[in-house]
Structure 1
Amino acid sequence: MAIKKTLDRIPGGMMLVPLFIGAIVHTFWPDSGKYFGSFTNGLMTGTVPILAVWFFCMGAGIDIRATGTVLRKSGTLVLTKIAVAWIVAIIAGQFLPEGGIQTGFFAGLSVLALIAAMDMTNGGLYASIMQQYGTKEEAGAFVLMSLESGPLVTMLILGTTGLAAFEPHHFVGAVLPFMIGFILGNLDHDLREFFGKATHTLIPFFGFALGNSIDLGVILQTGLLGILLGIAVIIVTGIPLILADKWIGGGNGTAGLAASSTAGAAVANPMIIANMKPEFMSAAQSATALVAACVIVTSILVPILTAYWADWMKKRRGSVPVQGVGPGQERTV
């Protein structure tokens, strides 16, 4: 059975399929983890420890040695994405209640959902798109996108906008596994290779554990809103990213559009934040469902839109006659 190949055909499938399986289990058999206990219960409810190991391995897999072009490109995209999410948080914080909207079509929409959907780029999706439509240096820009992984950026945005207050040690705790992995991976190439391999392996495990905290009824309630939010993520973050890529990154905007997705790991952030700040717990479940929808929507639309954009930019450059080239022969410039 070609199970993995099937999962690979689904946008974000290695993360989202286990997540929905876990959600089905939690919806229809919410106490199954407690019933089985032991390791099974740990696997079903161990989102935080599994993510801690994943962050460590993610840090270990990043090589500090990168070219200036890669750092400029990735730094531009990462900072722009974070800046846009920060501005959205400031604006949304003026209109949305702390626990999110509770009734009507926009029920479940919260500042937490907006930030989590917009502040992290799907690095793997970006790299695969740019390997086809960009340069090697542009594809390598995903190296700094790994720094967005985890709740740290979301915490920083919530803290600097005054929407939440976190103790300094909470920030340290959020980034410490990542930094320890990063240090070890760069001190020893063999350790980077060893731990880096586990990054993809752990994805379905924390997806399943995260799913076991989601009621499918919530996802059904936020279905259309989740689709619209996913489209909004592409528009709201995509336009600034395209402009930043052209004006600062030295590209033609293709890399910016390719970075306008929502990372699969972002699905975990609302619940992690809620565990640290219980006042967000009422919004966390709906936010998780909305972010999961954004991952699916952006994973489908961003590659399609980027392909059209890259083709349009190629045609826009055009082909012009060059002196010394015979009639009917042109050189693309």
Structure 2
Amino acid sequence: MKIKQRLDKIPGGLMLVPLFIGALVNTFYPHAGAYLGSFTNGILTGTVPILGVWFFCMGATIQLRASGVVLKKSGTLVVVKTITAWLVALIAAHFLPLDGVQSGFFTGISTLVLAASMNMTNGGLYASLMQQYGSKEDSAAFVLMSIESGPLLTMIILGSAGVASFEPRLFLGAVLPFILGFILGNLDDELREFFGRAVPTLIPFFAFALGGAIDLSVIRDTGLLGILLGVGVIIVTGIPLILADKFIGGGDGTAGIAASSSAGAAAATPFLIAEMNPVFKSQVASATALVATAVIVTSVLVPILTALWAKWARRGQHGAHAAVVSLD
């Protein structure tokens, strides 16, 4: 059976299918983990330790010895997307209640949801799109995108937007595994390769555990809103990313639109933030469902939009080149 091949054909399938299976288990057998106990319970409820190992391995994949062009491109995209998410959170904090909208069509939308869905790029999707539509430097620019992974930037965004406060030790705890992995990966190339191989392997495990905290009725109730959230992520982050790629990164905007997706790991952010600040506990289920839906939507639309943008940009370049030739 070609299960892996079929998963790869689904946008974000390695993350979203196990998450959905975990949600099925929790919906129909909510006490399965406690009943079975031991290792099964650990897998069903072990989101935090599994993600901790994943962040460590992710940090190990980042090479400090990257070219200036690559660092410029990746740094530009990461900084612009983070600033955009921060501005959105800052505005949302003035209009939305701390626990999110509680009634009507926009039930579940909160500053946490907006920040979590907008400040993380699907690095794998970006790299694959740039291999097809960009340059080698564009493709390698995902080198710094791993910094967006995990709850740290979301914690900073929420804290600076005045939505929540986190003790310094919690910031350290959120970033320490990533830093340790980064240090080891740069001290030893073999360790970087060794730990890097575990990054995709761990994704279905933390996704399954994350789904184990979701009731499928929440996904049903937030489906349409989640779709609109995904479209909003592409529009709100895509426009500044395109402009940044053109005027700072020296590209034609293709890398910008390719970086406007939501990473699969973003679905884990509400849970992790709530673990560090209980004030968000009531939002975890709906926030996770909304962000997960946004991940699916951006994973489907971003490749299509990137292809269209690249075609349009190249047509414009060919037209400009032809005009120069005719003048000569």
Q: What is the percentage of aligned positions where both structures have the same residue?
A: 69
Q: Which residue of 2 aligns with 1:28?
A: 28
1:109 corresponds to which residue? 109
Which residue in 1 is equivalent to 2:14? 14
| Structure 2 residue runs without a partner (length 5+) | none
Structure 2 distance, partners of 1:196, 1:205, is 16
- Structure 1 length-normalised TM: 0.96
Aligned mates of 2:61, 2:275 — CA distance in 1: 27
Deviations 1:99-140 (A, max 9, x none): 111111101111100000000000000000000000000010
The answer to whether the 8 A contact 2:93-2:162 is kept is no
1:257 aligns with 2:250: no
Superimposed CA distance per residue, residues 178-203 of structure 1 (whole angstroms, 9 cap, x where no aligned partner): 00011011111111111110001000
SS at match of 1:65: coil
Q: Considering only aligned residues, what root-mean-square deviation do their CA atoms show, in Å? A: 1.0
Aligned position for 2:239 = 239
Residues in 1 aligned to 2:37 and 2:174: alpha-carbon distance in whole angstroms: 28
Q: Distance in 1 between matches of 2:324 and 2:278?
A: 66
Establish whether residue 155 from structure 1 lines up as the match of residue 152 from structure 2.
no
Q: TM-score normalized by structure 2? A: 0.97
- The equivalent of 1:141 in structure 2 is 141
> Residue in 1 aligned with 2:266?
266
Structure 1 residue 316, shift from structure 2 partner:
1.1
Q: Which residue in 1 is equivalent to 2:131?
A: 131
* In structure 2, distance between residues paired with 1:49 and 1:321: 59
Q: C-alpha separation between the residues in 1 aligned to 2:219 and 2:20?
A: 10
Choose between structure 1 and 2: higher helix proportion.
2
Q: 2-side partners of 1:82 and 1:322: how far apart?
A: 38
Question: Does structure 2 retain, via aligned residues, the 8 Å contact 1:239–1:257?
Answer: yes
Separation in structure 1 between the aligned mates of residue 139 and residue 97 of structure 2, nearest angstrom: 39
Shift of 1:318: 2.4
**Within-5 A mapping of 1:1-333:** 1-319=1-319, 320=322
Preserved CA contact (<8 Å) 1:112 1:284:
no
1:78 is paired with a residue of what secondary structure? helix
3-state SS of paired residue (2:131): helix
**Contact 1:123–1:145 (Cα < 8 Å) also in 2:** yes
Where 2:175 maps in the other structure, the secondary structure is helix
- The AA in structure 2 aligned to 1:229 is L
Q: CA deviation at 1:62?
A: 1.2
The match for 1:327 is none
Q: Where in structure 1 do 4 or more consecutive aligned residues deviate above 6 Å?
A: none
Give the secondary-structure state (helix, strand or coil) at the position aligned to 1:260: coil
